[in-house]
Structures are given as structure tokens and as C-alpha cells.
Structure 1
Amino acid sequence: MPRLPKFRDTLINTRDLLVTGGPFVLIALALLVLAYWALDPTPPKKVTLATGPEQGAYAEFGQRYKAHLQRFGIEVELRATQGSSENLKLLQDPKSGVDFAFVQGGAGRLRRNDEGPPPDLVSLGSLFYEPVWLFYREAAAKEKLGSEQLESLAQLKGWRVNIGAPGSGVTNLMLRLFDANGLAPQDLVVQRLGNTPAVVSLFAGETDALVYTSAPESPLVQMLLLTPGIGLMDFAQAEAYSRRLPVVSPVLLPRGVVKLGEDVPAQDIRLLAPTAMLVAREDAHPALQQLFVQAASAIHSGAGWFQRRGEFPSLLGSELPLAKEAARFFQSGPPFLQRYLPFWLANLIDRMWVVLAGVIVVLIPLSRVLPPLYELRVRSRVFRWYARLRQIEEGLADGLDHARGAQPLMNDLDELDAKVKQLQVPLSHADELYALRSHIDLVRKKLRALGAQTPNPTVS
């Protein structure tokens, strides 16, 4: 029982604080909810990634991205396509549901004088080299050129050349390379077969040459490299091409890299290589963009036939503007908080801290009003009774009703005193309560003194 008054005082203080600070808390919560709604810091749990033909490099890498993002609770739906051109169309179509895609460098434009890169798309970096593999039948070269060696794209005039299925990125790139050599599409017999049908056609003698752009680990590429009678064009002018077309880089297929024991290839072969890019819609959630860039770093940073460890992902060969999240990653690596906190929490803090700082700046001036309001509320609980006390005291000054005596004013004063005794205020304001009660006693003494001087009307 002795602890009851202290507990009661605590409840009173808490109630006063809640009533005084309640509006402030509601304003703070409203600002936070508004900021959360405006920023939308939590990314969607499902995203669609456009890859490429089945059993191709893009499809294989898509599976790795899916596994990587699954660790962060993000489900990646893979959309099989014909290649880069189709991927670009899907990215530019909001109704397609595709937010990310693999795109070959140079796939965004057909000619040198075309308009700029597709709008509303950003690059998350280049991922790996995709060499241009121009395979041809050596018999066709001997028949048309008098030599089994194909040395220039300009020599393809009149050849039956497969430049990829509709929607593939190699088509646009080859048209640009043909254009650089003064070849128009009508100068060739252009075929548009898929990868596997094109190989069958080449072996059947219905195609003279075919072009792939693919990672060297592609089974079709390695098979053609080992097939007798099938040659691989050496781009002797690789450096010149790279100066004319910045989307391609000169790379070297080292002697013996395919099969060291059999010395395949028998000499170094110069190739052109665009880079595969990871492209996103500009309005894709920033947190997802950050996760995809991190996945690219984990998946593509190793060494390969054409790149050294750590060379990719990079800014090499991109025709698209770099996404802000990618620039942030290349400059400082993963966000600091993600190294120590779960992704959802680190992302929430990372996306909200600027707004939180702004909310705090707004709330600080408001918070300075709270102590005066709290004090005013507590003191008003005491001071409002002074008005009634003054009325009683003014009754003294105006003179007593001699017919009734001082008793009515005394009754009013006793009623006021009873109510004041029930007041509960924090200990820090107890002096004001006791001051009120002492003033009540002072008025009571005046009433008693004045009442003693007033004759009793009942006495004759």
C-alpha cells in the first residue's frame, strides 16, 4: 500500500505526457508514413529477367542470378527470348513485365546515323565479352576466293550468311559491321536461322558462313572450333573496328586454348567482342538494381578465356547511361549497412535515412513547444480554481448578506477546498497546489473573522 501514491503519481505524469505529446507523436508518425509511401523503400518480392535462347549463355547466367537473389528473398522469373533485340523491346514495353535483361553491346542501334540509345533504360554494367564468331565452310571459301582463308568481311559479297534469328543481338551488330565495310544487305544472301538450325544448314552446304556472338563456353562454338573443314575468321583489322565502332573491343583467342594437346587453334586468332550488358528499366526499384549489380560482381568477376579476374563487371562498351545504383557500387562497393545487417533492414535504413533526417529537422522546432505545453497543462489544473476562490473573496469585499450571515460563502469555500484536495499533480508542481490550499485557508480565516463580527439574525 505505501507504494500506491507513488504509482498513482507515475500514472498521472504518464497521462499528462501522453496528452501533451500525443499530437507531436501523431505528426511524426504521419510524416514517416508519408515518407515511406513516397519513397517505397521495400522492393517487390518478384522480378522478371529476360535472358535469351535456351541452352545459351544468357539462359545459363539467368539461372545463376536467380539463385543469387533468392538468398535475399527475391524471386526471379526468367523469360526466354531470341536475344538482345527482343530483350530491348520487352524492356521498353511497360506491359511486358520485364524489368531487367541481358543485352549485347551495339544491339540498341542499327546504323551509325541512328538515333541515340533507347530511352528510359539504364545500364548496370558490362558483364563479359561476347566474341563475334564468324564460322565458314573452307570449301566455300576456296570456291569463291580461291583460298580456304576468309580474311575480310568485304569478301562475303554474294555469300549465303546466317546473321541470327529475328530478335537476336548479333543481327544488329553484323549490319553495323557490314555497313562499315561498304556492304549492303542486298549484297549478301542473308539467312535468319536460329543457332542449331544454322549449324545444320552449314554442315549441309546450304549456308556458307554463320555468325554467333556468344561466350566461348557455348557448346556450339566449341563444337565448330573442333570440326574439320570449318574455319574461324581472323579479324586482322580488329583494332580498326574497335576505333570505328566503340561497342566492340579487340580480343585474342590464344593458340591452343581450346585444346592444348591438339594445339587448337593452331595460331592466335584476333576477334571482335561486344560486351554483354545487364540493362534495367530506369524505374526499376533501386534496391533491386543494387542487388543485380552485386549479383553481377559475384558471378562475372572470375577469369575467363578473354578476361582477367576482376575485369568484369565494368563500364566498358555501354551505349546506355549508367544507373545511379551501379555508379554507387563501382565507386564504393555494396552499401555499408548490408555488410552487417540483414538486407531488408539495411535497405530500409539506407533508403530512409535522408528522409528521417529531414523529418527530425522538422520535428526539432516542434519538440521545443512540448515542455511549455506540459507545464501549462499541469499548472492550469491548479490555477483554474483561483477564479472560484477570487469570486468568494470578492463576496467578502462586497459585504455579507446579513440575513444569511457568512455561511453561504463558507459552504462555497469548503466545497472548493474539497475539490482541490482531490487534485493530483506531479511532485514537481506540488508547491503550486499547496500554495492554492494555503490561499484557501487564508480566505477561510477572513470569513471566520468577518462572520464573528456579524450579528446572528436569530437572536432577538
Structure 2
Amino acid sequence: MSEAGNSREGRIEAARRRLRNLRPASVVSWRDALATLLPIVLLMALAVFATEHFIRPAPPHKLTMAGGPEGSNFRTVAEKYQKILARSDIALEIVPSRGSANNLDLLVDRQVDIALVQSGVTREGGTDDLRSLGTMFRQPVSIFYRSDKLFTRLSEMAGMRIAIGRPGSGNRFLALALLKGNGIEPGGKTQLLDIEGEAASAALTKHEVDAIFLSGDSASIRTVRQLMRAEGIRLFDFVQGEAYERRFRYLNRLQLPAGAFDLGANLPEKPITMMAPTVELLAHADLHPALSDLLVEAAQEVHSRSSLMQNPREFPHPIEHDYPMSDDAARYYKSGKGLAYRFLPFWLASLVNRAAVILVPMLVVLIPALRFAPDIYGWRINRRIYKRYGELMALERATLEPMTPEQRTALLQRLAEIEKSMINAKVPGAYADQSYILRRHIQFVREGLVSAEARKPDDTTPVTG
């Protein structure tokens, strides 16, 4: 074989290797894909950020609650809440207090998260942030006195030694209000003593005081029953109950039947009318919705049973008194627990709810964005081709104008540059047909330029007219 033949075969083999090494056109233009998807990703991130800004964080695992004095009904209720919340791994810390008024102060000063407060107990300022989680139970005021005479009006206690409870208790607040309504106020001939609960009961038994006011935040039911059985001590009967109810809007009449405290001894001996304010569970307006649900659920477990003072399922209920009802609590009373909280443990339900709140805006953005993403991607690819068409049309218009040989050469060079740029452009295979069509049009303009040059008349040809 000749040397020329070997050389030719070598060139053919080199060409084949070069063809084998050629990379096919990319299926996707990653630059355009990135430019298309990046705004979608940024928009989703913005939606998630905005959602995170407006939704609550994960619920805390610790709450603080103002309890009443040791042994009081308030303290007993708080301890029941504590046990129920512990099932959901929520630690409830009970902060000792002197009663309703002190509970309200602790709540306003943000020393506690939640508190039981007797209706009618208010304070000036600082309560705009408070919300009610519902009315939990009645708290009858029990007035015991020692006298041979049966009293029918509180005004008959003028001049006596009366234990009204310590400052800060709802018992004291209510006692002062009722006594004032009967013309008995501090500073007069009646001695108003800061004694409450067990101490007040013992003082009455020992003849150290003549009358005492007891209520749920200062004494237990056990203390009330002991006094009912004590010799010489009477339970005050609010025979003017309707008048008290109309004058003090936060009071309700409660008819206690004969024998309610002791059937065997028939205590009381006849029906007695008692006055009972209700007790609300108060919290701050920013209480986490999940914790609000847990607390109302705990309240239903604790307070829905029948007792001496209430009918079954009478409490809790969402009736507003001194403070507006929490939106979360009102929603719970109306529709109950959320779907996730019904079937999942508290911590997992909280996680699912938060994930759902974040996923919803993401899907709202993502689904329409992905629907239009292919169109945006195709528009970016076509825009590069259409841009060359604009240049090509401008060059074609230039061919209609008189031009020098140098100008014609420059136009042909520009056409070659446009064609080369399209050959080197990374256009996905799906859009290659438009690229080849453009190159045909480039060739069409080039042929127009060449044929125009060929048809150009000779400058020496005479012009006839």
C-alpha cells in the first residue's frame, strides 16, 4: 500500500474517532433550567418565611399556674390540671398565691401563664392582654356566724368580729363587696379581720371571731362540712338572694336542699339559698393554641362531673364575664380538638400541624409555578433564537440599501458570526429544529447578498433614459 493511501486511511480513522468523541446535544439547558427554577425556589422560601412569621412556634413543654392557699379548692383544681397535662409531657408548675385577686396580679405581671380568677375580681389597667378559656365552676360564698338569733340580713352583723380573708384573696374581695352593700365598711365599729380558711374556722370555733366568710379559693369543702356540724354555728341563708343577684351581676343564686351536707344529721335542716360567683380560667392572649386546647380538655375532664354545687356537664362553658373569650378556646368549645390531636400523641400532632401550615403555602406557590415552568423554560430558549432573528431582519433590510464592497463584506462577516454563535449555542435537542430553521434563513440572506453583488451593474455601463 502506498504512503498516500496510508495517510488517507489515517485521516479517515482520526475523523471517525473525532465523530465517536462528539457529545450529543444536551436534553436540558441547565443554565435556563436554573434560571427558571431559581425564582420559584425563592418564592417558596419567601412563602415559608412569611408563614413562619405569622404562625406560632412549637408549644412549650412548661406552664406556670397560680394556685390558691394550701388546701384550698383552687389548689386542688390546679393539682388535677397538673396530673392531666403530665400525660402530654407538659409540666405544670403551681405557684402559691393568696387567692383570686393575687392570682390576677400574678397573671398581669406575667409571673404565671394561667390562673383561676373569681368573676367580679378585677383591677385597674393591665388586663387588656388577658383572655378567658371559659367558666370552670361555681364557687359559693359560705358565711358562718355564731349567734342565738337567726340572721336574715348581713346588716345584722354590724359591730361583730368578722373574718373576711387576707388581702389578695377573692374571698376578701367578695366579703367587702357584700358587707359594703349592707352598710358595713372598714374603719367602722365592725372589726374586719385578715383571717381565712382553716384559721378562720378555728377562730370561729374558739369564739375568737363572730362570723367568717369562706369561699373556694380560701377553704375546702371539708372545712365547710365541719362547720355545718359544729354546735352553735349557723350558715347564713341569703333570703334576699334575688336582690343580690340583680345588684351584683357576677353572683348567681344556688339553692342548697335540706340534708345536702349530711343526710343522716339533715344538715342543713331546711333549704338554704347561697350566692355563688363563678370562676374563670384566664390566660395571656399569646397562649399557644395547642396548650389552649389541652387546658380546655383538662377542664372538661375535671369540671364536667356533677357535684353538690352543679349539674353534670354544666361546666366548663364559654360564657364571657369580665374578660373576652379566647378565639382558640371558643373554637375548641364549638368543634373540639383538631384532627391530628384526636389520633396522634400531643408532640407528634403539634409537629404535623406545623408541617401542614408550612406545606400549604408551599403547595399554593409550587403547583402553579410548576405548571408554568415548562413554558417559562421554553420561552428562555426561544428568546435566544428570536434575538438572532431580530439581527437577521436588520441585516436583510440593510441589503436593500446601496453599499460599498467593504460594507457588503462586513455584512457577510456578521452573518457568519450569527451562524457560528447558533452552532456553538447549547440548545437542547428538543429545540434544535428552530436552530436549523434559523440557519436556513441566515443562508437565505447570505445568498441574497451574494446575488445582489452579482447583479450589480458595471459602473462603465451607460445609463439610458
Cα displacement string for residues 48-89 of structure 1 (whole angstroms, at most 9, x for unaligned residues) = 221211222212221232333344454332211011111111
Partner of 1:156: 157
Q: TM-score, normalised by structure 1?
A: 0.76
Structure 2 counterpart of 1:121: 130
Aligned equivalent of 1:260: 263
1:348 alignment partner in structure 2: 354
Q: Taking structure 1 as reference, are residues 379 and 350 closer, same or farther at Cα in structure 2, changes over 3 Å only? A: closer
Deviations, residues 418-460 of structure 1 (Å, cap 9, x unaligned): 76455444454232133245456768989999999xxxxxxxx
Deviation at 1:303, TM superposition (A): 1.2
Contact 1:274/1:317 (CA < 8 Å) preserved in 2? no
- The 1:352/1:205 distance shift into structure 2, 3 A limit, reads farther
Tell me which residue corresponds to 2:141: 132
2:95 pairs with 57, 72, 79, which one?
79
Post-superposition offset of 1:399: 8.2
Inter-partner Cα distance in structure 1 for 2:157 and 2:96: 32
3-state SS, counterpart of residue 305 of structure 1:
coil
Take 2:194 and 2:313, find their aligned partners in 1: how far apart are those partners?
Answer: 36
**Greater Cα shift, 155-164 or 385-394:** 385-394
Change (3 A) 1:73 1:80: same
Once the 2 structures are TM-superposed, how far is the Cα of residue 21 of structure 1 from its aligned partner?
2.8
Once residues 192 and 365 of structure 2 are traced to their aligned partners in structure 1, the CA distance between those partners, rounded to angstroms, is 66
Matches within 5 A, 1:268-287: 268-287=271-290
- Write the deviation string for residues 388-426 of structure 1: whole angstroms up to 9, x where unpaired: 98899999997878xxxx9x9999988877764554444
1:212 to 194, 209, 214: 214
CA distance in 2, matches of 1:441, 1:73: 78
Task: Give 1:155's aligned amino acid.
Answer: E
2:432 to 413, 430, 433: 430
1:175 is aligned to 176
Read off the aligned partner of 1:59 and give its amino acid letter: R
**Residue number in structure 2 paired with 1:455:** none
User: Which secondary structure state, in structure 1, belongs to the residue aligned with residue 132 of structure 2?
Assistant: strand
Match of 1:112 in 2: none
| TM-aligned CA distance change 1:391 to 1:250, over 3 Å | closer
Residue 300 of structure 1 aligns with which residue? 303
Secondary structure of the corresponding residue to residue 234 of structure 1 = coil
Partner residue, 2:323: 320
Number of aligned residues: 427
Structure 1, residues 18-62: CA drift from partner, whole Å, max 9, x if none? Answer: 321312331332233134214435444433221211222212221
TM-score by length of 2: 0.75
Aligned partner of 2:107: which letter? L
CA distance, structure 1, for counterparts of residue 371 and residue 381 of structure 2: 17
Task: Give the CA deviation at 1:183.
Answer: 2.1
Partner of 2:46: 30
Q: Distance in 2 between matches of 1:315 and 1:300?
A: 13
Instruction: Give yes or no for contact 2:196–2:214 (8 Å, CA) kept in 1.
Output: no
Give the whole-Å Cα distance in 1 for the aligned partners of 2:358 and 2:119: 35
The offset of 1:171, in angstroms, is 0.8
Q: Quick one: which amino acid aligns to residue 65 of structure 1?
A: Y
What residue ranges of structure 2 are gaps of 5+ in the alignment? 1-19, 455-465
How far has the Cα of 1:195 moved from its partner? 1.8
User: In the alignment, which of 92, 106, 118 is matched to residue 120 of structure 2?
Assistant: 106
Partner residue, 2:231 = 228
- In structure 2, how many angstroms separate the alpha carbons of the residues matched to 1:133 and 1:345? 47
Distance in 1, matches of 2:357 and 2:72, equals 36
Give deviations 1:254-310, integer Å, cap 9, x for gaps. Answer: 333333344333333221111111112334444443443333223211211121111
Residues in 1 aligned to 2:296 and 2:233: alpha-carbon distance in whole angstroms: 38
Cα RMSD (Å) of the superposition?
Answer: 4.3
CA deviations 1:313-349 (Å, max 9, x no partner) are: 1245722222222333333333455435654146537
- What is the SS of the residue equivalent to 2:262? coil
Structure 1 range deviating more: 57-66 or 392-401: 392-401
Q: Name the amino acid aligned to 1:240.
A: A
Letter aligned with residue 104 of structure 1? Q
| 2:192 alignment partner in structure 1 | 190
Work out which of the residue numbers 47, 51, 54 in structure 1 matches 2:67. Answer: 51
How many Å separate the matches in 1 of 2:394 and 2:330?
A: 75
Rg larger for? 2
1:289 aligns with 2:292: yes
For the Cα contact (< 8 Å) 2:139–2:216, is it kept in 1?
Answer: yes
How many percent of aligned residue pairs carry the same amino acid? 34
C-alpha separation between the residues in 2 aligned to 1:449 and 1:361? 56
Structure 1: gaps (5+ residues): 110-114, 453-460
The code of the aligned residue for 1:297 comes to: Q
Cα deviation digits, residues 127-174 of structure 1 (max 9, x gap): 01111111223xxx12xxxx3x33331221111111111211011111
Q: Contact (CA 8 Å) 1:202, 1:210: kept in 2 or not?
A: yes
Q: Give the stretch that moved more between structures: 67-76 or 229-238.
A: 67-76
How far apart in 1 are the matches of 2:204 and 2:122? Answer: 28
Alpha-carbon distance in structure 1 between the residues aligned to 2:340 and 2:412: 71
- CA-CA distance at 1:177 after TM superposition: 0.9
1:51 and 1:352 map into 2 onto residues whose CA distance is 37
Q: 1:376 to 1:234 in 2, by over 3 A?
A: same
The AA in structure 2 aligned to 1:267 is K
- 2: CA distance, partners of 1:417 / 1:242: 97
Determine if contact 1:46/1:75 at 8 Å carries over to the other structure: yes
Query: Per the alignment, in what secondary structure is the counterpart of residue 117 of structure 2?
Result: strand
1:350 CA displacement:
8.5
How far apart in 1 are the matches of 2:356 and 2:435? 50
